A and B are shown apart, each in its own frame.
Chain A
Amino acid sequence: GQNIDQPTEMTATEGAIVQINCTYQTSGFNGLFWYQQHAGEAPTFLSYNVLDGLEEKGRFSSFLSRSKGYSYLLLKELQMKDSASYLCAVRDRENYGQNFVFGPGTRLSVLP
C-alpha cells in the first residue's frame, strides 16, 4: 500500500519563498508528481521527479530523496495567483505502473 503526507494548509506573503513538503511510503516507487489545483478547477501538472535531486522549472522547483521517501515543492517570488492547493502524487509500479496515489493536498494562501 501507499501513504502520502502533506501539511494541510500554509500561508505565505507575496514575493516570498515557500516550501511544501511531501513524505511517502510505497512498495514500488515509480515517480513523483506535483499538481496545482485552483479552487473549483481540475489539477494541472507542475513537475516530475524520478531520480534524486532538484528539478527546476521557472519559479517552481521540486526535490526528491528516494531513500528518505521525501519530496518538496519550492515556489519562489510568490504571486497572488499561486494561491491554490498543491497535490503530491506518487506513481507505483503495480497495476500497469500508471496509477497515481494522491496526497491530501496542501492549501496555500498567498497574502498581499
Chain B
Amino acid sequence: DAGITQSPRYKITETGRQVTLMCHQTWSHSYMFWYRQDLGHGLRLIYYSAAADITDKGEVPDGYVVSRSKTENFPLTLESATRSQTSVYFCASSPGGAGYGYTFGSGTRLTVV
C-alpha cells in the first residue's frame, strides 16, 4: 500500500535495552524526519534526513541513532533505552520544495519500564 508506515504501533521495553522503530515510505520522498511528542513539549525533532546516506541531528538527538541506506527506510534506534524516552514517536516524510508539508506515519507508542 502507498503511504508511510511505522512499526510497531506499540512497544514496551526495559531500561537499558536496544530498540529500533521502523519507518517506511513508498513515495520516494527525499526528506524524512523523526519526532517525539510529549505532553507539555509538543512535537520535537530528533533526527532528519535529506536523502539516502544524509542524516543530521535535530533538537533532541541524544540517545538516538538513525540510518538511511535506502530512500524508503529511516529506522530510529534507541541504543540503551531510558524511562525519559517513553513517548510517542512519529516519522514523517516530505518531497521537499515550497508548499509541501509533512505526511506523518501513524506513530509508535513506546513505553520504557
A-side interface residues toward B, CB under 8 Å? 30-31, 33, 35, 41-45, 48, 50, 87, 89, 95-96, 98-105
Contacts and interface: CB of A to CB of B under 8 A. Distances in A.
Chain B, interface SS category: strand
A87 B102 contact: no
Nearest to B44: A102
A31 B99 contact: yes
B112 interface: no
A50 B101 contact: no
Interface in B58-108: 58, 90, 94, 96, 98-99, 101-107
A43 B50 contact: no
Given A50-B99, A87-B42, A99-B58, A41 B50 contact: no
B45 interface: yes
B13 to A, nearest CB: 20
Contacts, number: 54
A49 to B, nearest CB: 10
A47 to B, nearest CB: 9
Question: What are the 4 closest A-B residue pairs judged by CB atoms, nearest first?
Answer: A42-B104, A102-B43, A104-B42, A45-B101
A78 B68 CA distance: 42
A42 B42 contact: no
B56 interface: yes
18 contacts: A31-B98, A35-B101, A41-B106, A42-B104, A42-B106, A42-B107, A44-B104, A48-B99, A87-B42, A89-B101, A95-B48, A96-B96, A98-B94, A102-B35, A102-B43, A103-B42, A104-B40, A104-B41
